[in-house]
Amino acid sequence: MQNRKLKIGIVVGEVSGDTLGAKLIRSFREQGIDVEFEGIGGPQMIAEGFKSYYPMDILSVMGIVEVLKDLKKLFAVRDGLVEKWTNDPVDIFIGIDAPDFNLRLSKSIKEKNLAIKTVQYVSPSVWAWRQGRVHGIRATIDLVLCLFPFEKAFYHQFNVNAAFVGHPLASQLPLENPIRPAKEALGLDPDQKFIALLPGSRGGEVERLAPLVLDAAQLIQAKHPEYQFLIPAINDARKQQIEKILEQYPESLRAQIKLLENQDNESKIGRMVMNASDIVALASGTATLEAMLLHRPMVTFYKLNWLTYIIAKLLVKIPYYSLPNIIAGKKVISELIQSDATPENLANDIEKLMNIETGQIQVMQLLTMHKKLLAGNSEDPVQAILALL
């Protein structure tokens, strides 16, 4: 395409971003475009030849109050990347998700007047809260790659260059998805009933949310001993953390729980566990979209630091927190947020999904939303990025 090798900087902050980044790197290669990639990436991107200057976990901080404790470290990382790209520029910078970090990094790049095009892949939820951010995005981002069609429409109202590229998982995950092979793939008894418990992938989330799901599991076990529980651990650190929390629970419950650790670079254990489960209970976040595309009956929950929650509550502009409900524009799955996220409420909502009819109604709604995401006219992210040059 050009004599000089194209150089692209990418920054991701969590597993879902690492997955998107690895797919994007492969897409460039499949289209015969010779590119060097560097920045901050996870194991999947590194396996594709990505050069990571910092560990991905360094950006895995959630919440307003929680971020304040790590600000100094985050500024040092940002300044390190800006200095690196001032001396040895990339052609394009792509921030994948992690908007609080990546939008600031793009702003710093623009303030330095570096000849670097800036892309934000995965729109921050500006349509949901802190809508004023859209003006900053227009000033510092040359292109927003949107996963959902309603996001592109939102940006065009504000004259922001945006492309709807679709969610890669929507086309990757099949519309027909039987549960028995998914159980067998994990070496599980296909006739056994399982409930997936996903308290998040970050250390802080697990600390806050694991006791909630385990207390709920105890209540369910007392009434429904026919169910067993599956918990995925994204890495060894999370596995050890969950094992330590499990030590506080009776042996009778621990005997009904299978803790499954990730075994490869692709960090798919969460998806595999959800796919093999009859019911999914998971922390609100990007994993709710995966559960939706797997068509498994689910309930979602979340708890923040109380001050973060009060601030967020004042800024949120939409009635729902989880992606399935936002995409549907109505309440399809139960959301237990903050004071509503009690073991009793969680156990109760899981119990409702044990009713075959209730579970099936939700499954049909999730399948309809999957088809809706596939039907949108999506663009190729590689071509949308290259058009900037």
* pLDDT digit string, tens, across residues 334-354: 999 999 999 999 999 999 999
- Per DSSP bridges, beta strands 279-283 and 298-302 are parallel
Domains 6-171+376-386 and 179-374 share a fold: yes
Domain boundaries, the chain: 6-171+376-386, 179-374
Mean pLDDT across the chain, nearest whole number?
Answer: 91
What CATH code is assigned to 6-171+376-386? 3.40.50.2000
CATH code of the domain made up of 179-374: 3.40.50.2000
Q: Give pLDDT, residue 128.
A: 73
Q: How far apart are CA 105 and CA 93, in angstroms?
A: 9
Identify which has the larger pLDDT, 290 or 308: 290
The residues, ordered by sequence, that sit 6+ positions from 346 with a Cβ below 8 Å of its Cβ are: 212, 213, 216, 281, 299, 301, 336
Confidence label for 278 from pLDDT (cuts 50, 70 and 90): very high
Task: Give pTM, 2 decimals.
Answer: 0.73
Contact 44/265 with Cβ under 8 angstroms? yes
